[in-house]
Amino acid sequence: MTKNVLITEPNAFHIGWLGATRRLFHLADAFHKLGFNVALLAGKMTNVPLQTKIDNRFPGLVIRTNHTGAYPRLVDIGPITRRAWRGFWRVRGADYYLTRLSFGFAETLDIDHVVKELERHDLRPNVVWGISAGYLDGAIAADRLAKAFRIPWIFELQDPPYGCGLGLKIAVIRSEVSRLLKASSRQIVVTESYHNELLTEFTLDPKYIRTIYLTYEGELVEESNSSQNVKCRMLYAGSLQGGRSLAPLLYGLCKAMDREPRMRGSLIIQIVGMGDGLEEGREVSKELGVLESIRFLGYLDRDQTEELTKQANALIVVQTPETSTFQVPGKIFGYMRLGKPILGIMPDCEAADILHKSSLGFIHSPEDIEGIADTIIGLWLDWKEARPSAKTNLDYVSQFSVEYLPQILRPVLEGLL
């Protein structure tokens, strides 16, 4: 008999094909292989062209609500009006503002409407998978829907919740996190460090909390050498928000070129992404005189970014102390699949440990400008001499393949259905 799973993620596909979107696709594919039909509950689209395209490619039913959060209907028509309304929330204090962002979608959710939509598609869920990606709205929605259907639900924390692990510590949010952890039948996290943190901070049964890392799709490449490129290409692709700065990379590049002038004209660093760090990167590049070696490409779609990734000789990941706490970027797993050297500019963290174990990572703290320069020179020399810079630890990296996700997921569901 076919079973059904309902995934709740209010912000699904909000920012395109990044790690959270790929996670949803990988989960859906794994559930299909385990004999489940899949439905996804998400909020009203905020980027209609982008989200429609991804909705149509999602391997399951997508139900969109007519609201994005706890906004009056007339306010919830666009980003400007929503931003203005959030100004009223801020006036009431940081606690109220953050709880509205974190709880609002789920509290406004019309449960009867969702139930009818699922029934219309003959898709009554056997289990709900509620995702928290910083805010708790997906988990609260899952809790409400599980009660309506009288079924179990699984709480996935892709990021530590804002107000209880990230940013300000807010008592009402911590209390809600505690309630949701107890109400859920299983708890899933995407890093081992956060797994350990939750066991320390909350009274949980270790049997029911599991770490399921993000995954990659495609064949694993043992080693990669793109020496056919006319120029050595290094690629950074990702957000430039959250305090991520390209400055250490650019200072390292400047020092590397001073030491090895032949690099000028034969090395290109491509930057794909948007955020405050983009403009800072342009300014620092001009000040250091390395602008001719940088290509600021802004936002590119998934296919364009993947093509640049395949062509690159080396890949770059930047993590700050804030963004590296209990988090491992999804792109790391896709990068490791390609067998390319990865320059990681980050503090000592779980992401750095994973890159080290893959045998592909060249890790430096943001303060280690000399080390960054050494790595850039070494990668350029390897390209010039047409030799690989690293060889993948295949046994280690293969565990992150999406092909293994169904067998990792199966024990989570045992005893629930």
pLDDT tens sequence across 328-377: 988 999 999 999 999 999 999 999 999 999 999 999 999 999 999 999 99
In the predicted structure, residue 225 carries a pLDDT above the cut 70: no
At 242, the pLDDT band (50, 70, 90 cuts) reads confident
In the predicted structure, residue 107 carries a pLDDT above the cut 70: yes
Q: E strands within 101-207?
A: 127-133, 153-159, 186-189
User: What share of the chain has pLDDT > 90, as a percent?
Assistant: 81
In sequence order, what are the residues at sequence separation of 6 or more whose Cβ sits closer than 8 angstroms to the Cβ of residue 235? Answer: 269, 270, 272, 308, 309, 312, 314, 315, 316
Please spell the DSSP secondary structure of 58-90, one letter per residue: SSSEEEE-S-SSS--TTTTTSHHHHHHHHHHHH
pLDDT value at residue 245: 92
pLDDT value at residue 417: 86
Report d(CA 228, CA 329) in Å as an integer. Answer: 29
- Mean of the per-residue pLDDT values for the chain? 93
In the predicted structure, residue 65 carries a pLDDT above the cut 80: yes
Gyration radius (Cα) of the chain, Å: 22
pLDDT value at residue 227: 54
Q: Residues 187-202: what's their mean pLDDT?
A: 95
Measure Cα distances from 395 to 201, 215, 221, 361 in Å: 33, 15, 12, 16
pLDDT value at residue 119: 94
pTM of the full predicted structure?
0.90
In the predicted structure, residue 230 carries a pLDDT above the cut 90: no
In Å, the largest CA–CA distance within the chain is 68
In the predicted structure, residue 411 carries a pLDDT above the cut 60: yes
Domains identified in the chain and CATH numbers? 3-215+401-413 (3.40.50.2000), 232-398 (3.40.50.2000)
Under DSSP, is residue 187 helix (H, G, I), strand (E, B) or coil? strand
Contact 373, 347 (CB under 8 A): no
In the predicted structure, residue 235 carries a pLDDT above the cut 90: yes
At 300, the pLDDT band (50, 70, 90 cuts) reads confident
At 19, the pLDDT band (50, 70, 90 cuts) reads confident
pLDDT value at residue 259: 96
User: What share of the chain has pLDDT > 70, as a percent?
Assistant: 98
In the predicted structure, residue 241 carries a pLDDT above the cut 90: no
- pLDDT-wise least confident of 57-66, 88-97, 215-224: 215-224
pLDDT value at residue 98: 94
Q: Residues 55-70: what's their mean pLDDT?
A: 96
At 166, the pLDDT band (50, 70, 90 cuts) reads low
pLDDT value at residue 6: 98
pLDDT value at residue 228: 66
